[in-house]
Structure 1
Amino acid sequence: PDGSRVNAVIPPVAVDGPYLTVRRFGTGLLEAESLVALGTVDRAGLEALRCAVEGRLNIVISGGAASGKTTFLNAIAGYISLERERVITIEDAAELRFGEGNLVRLECRPANVEGRGRVDPRQLVRNALRMRPDRIIVGECRGPEAFDMLQAMNTGHPGSMTTVHANSPRDALRRLEIMVLMAGEGLPYAAVRDHIGSAVDLIVHLTRRPDGRRVLSEICVLRSYDHAAGAYELVRAQRGEGGRLVLPLAPDQAERLSLFGGRRRPEGPEAAEHDGG
């Protein structure tokens, strides 16, 4: 009932005896401000992400295993106004809970002992598109559901978010390419890259330090896929005047951010800025 995950292995697979692994999750809501207190992100970085979430930019959170991707996603999703927006979350095992309101939580189902009844993430993403969502949040993209997730980002559901296992922002793009190809839609490789380049706005990369701390290592803006150069235009956010974090947004991204969330950006010395040039 509390969402804990249990994995058990027994002999002969477990050579030295049975092992039981329990993964537990906190029951309370982790507010985004807690990420600053934990040292995961500084205030300027958090303000940039607040503007991005409220401004309906599509966000992919990348990182290695146990780097805190789901926790980070859950925290920044708290900036979504569930009074004004209908949000649908899709997960293998339901973990995300970031407020009360118009939040619909969907969970995958494994097959029964007869191999029937399985409901996979791709089915849920496709079904979610019929539920009039403002945003769709997929807890983690691992396979062909990435194609449908990107479709949602590209077709009237701005502000959608997901996580991806990857070692860097560029590696996250390569992983997305592979997952889209797994969908078997027959898209040429250039079309796959263009699909990703037009759907994703930000890649937020997390790392786990040797001391166990999870930290935000970089925020990159995916401006587009450049066909002439045959490469993604992926630009890292940089510090501006007064320590502000400047998001080097493309004009269409800056326009969307201003339309949905520009008026709510703070004006303090650590506020986020965007450059729509």
Structure 2
Amino acid sequence: PLSLCGPVVTIRKFSLRPFTPRDLVDIGSLTAPMMEFLGACVRAKANVIVSGGTGAGKTSLLGALSSFVPPDERLITIEDAAELRLPQPHVISLEARPPNVEGAGEVTVRALVRNALRMRPDRIIVGEVRGGEALDMLQAMNTGHEGSLSTAHANSPRDLVSRLETMALMSGVELPASHVREQIAGALDLIVHMTRMPDGNRVVARISAVEGLRGGSVVLEDIFAWRRSPQPGFEATGTMPSVLRMLAERDERVDPRIFTLRPDGQFDGRPGDPDEPERLVTGWPGNARRFGSLLE
């Protein structure tokens, strides 16, 4: 009776084998240096949110990034409908539950986030932030629960910041908007924005660093971006994000040349070995970690 054209069935089908980081590099969703940078950030316990529209590939990228988590860590995943399949041996998967026909028995994502904090997690991975649980997750990130990962619907990294602010205010807790912005600026390290292209391909359109507050607004600095012209491809903006300090402190270093990546797959500057840039772009699992760092 709800569909005027008759019965409607929507099938959300997942592959038997989840996407790996190399799979996403091979299909062109991002480059190997970009993935190596994200992997180093995950290993260093940076807080990362993947944003994008419906069907942009957020969950696939979240699963791939989660594979960088060391196997000795205790992970707790929280989802509306369980989709993540993680390879680590110590994973606790929690799933929200809708109310029954009598309106009882509901368990929300927000309730699961709150309970997960009491389960001694090394990492909390929320499949998607949609409502008031955003505030609980931000507070968890700001109180020692590092390395949290999640996704959210948004049209851009800037739009994600606005949506997080709105969702946090949906929690029912009376907080000034300025305080919520402080929570966002203090909690998040990176925003990875996914886009579904007109031809159906999914690409990482932007990797943005959260660089604190300025004039009451959250400061975002693009690190990598997809450029459509004059030559389609991924390009580094030249920004050296502050998250590099965290990587250096935790012995997760990347070659600074990746921050000069051009859409043609080459790098600005003159590396010592002319073959190294090509290996840096196409090699796996990330030759960039072999090179020196400006942070040394």
TM-score normalised over the length of structure 1? 0.86
Range moving further from structure 2, 209-218 or 265-274? 265-274
| 1:44-55 superposed matches below 5 A | 44-55=33-44
Letter in 2 for 1:260: R
| 1:165-244 superposed matches below 5 A | 165-226=153-214, 229-238=215-224
8 A contact 2:50–2:194 mirrored in 1: yes
Alpha carbons of structure 1 residues 39 and 214: separation in structure 2 relative to 1, 3 Å: same
Shift in Å, 1:13:
2.1
Helix, strand or coil: the match of 2:192?
strand
Aligned to 1:8: none
Aligned to 1:249: 241
Range moving further from structure 2, 22-31 or 132-141? 22-31
Query: Could you list the runs of 5+ residues in structure 1 that have no partner in the other structure?
Result: 1-11
Aligned match for 2:252, one of 262, 265, 268: 262
8 A contact 1:90–1:106 mirrored in 2: yes
Helix, strand or coil: the match of 1:60?
strand
Letter in 2 for 1:231: S
| 1:1-277 superposed matches below 5 A | 12-82=1-71, 84-226=72-214, 229-238=215-224, 248-250=240-242, 253-262=243-252, 265=254, 269=277, 270=280, 271=288
Query: Could you list the runs of 5+ residues in structure 2 that have no partner in the other structure?
Result: 226-234, 257-275, 281-287
Shift in Å, 1:103:
0.9
Letter in 2 for 1:259: E
Give the aligned length: 256
TM-align CA RMSD: 2.2
8 A contact 2:138–2:184 mirrored in 1: yes
CA deviation profile, 1:206-245 (whole Å, cap 9, x unmatched): 100011100001100001122xx22211101159xxx878
Alpha carbons of structure 1 residues 235 and 274: separation in structure 2 relative to 1, 3 Å: farther
CA deviation profile, 1:130-176 (whole Å, cap 9, x unmatched): 00001101000000000111111111111101101000000000000
Helix, strand or coil: the match of 2:9?
strand
Shift in Å, 1:17:
1.5
Alpha carbons of structure 1 residues 38 and 186: separation in structure 2 relative to 1, 3 Å: same
CA deviation profile, 1:72-106 (whole Å, cap 9, x unmatched): 10011101112x21111000011111203111110
| CA distance in 2 between partners of 1:136 and 1:246 (Å) | 31
Aligned to 1:3: none
Range moving further from structure 2, 166-175 or 94-103? 94-103
Letter in 2 for 1:194: E
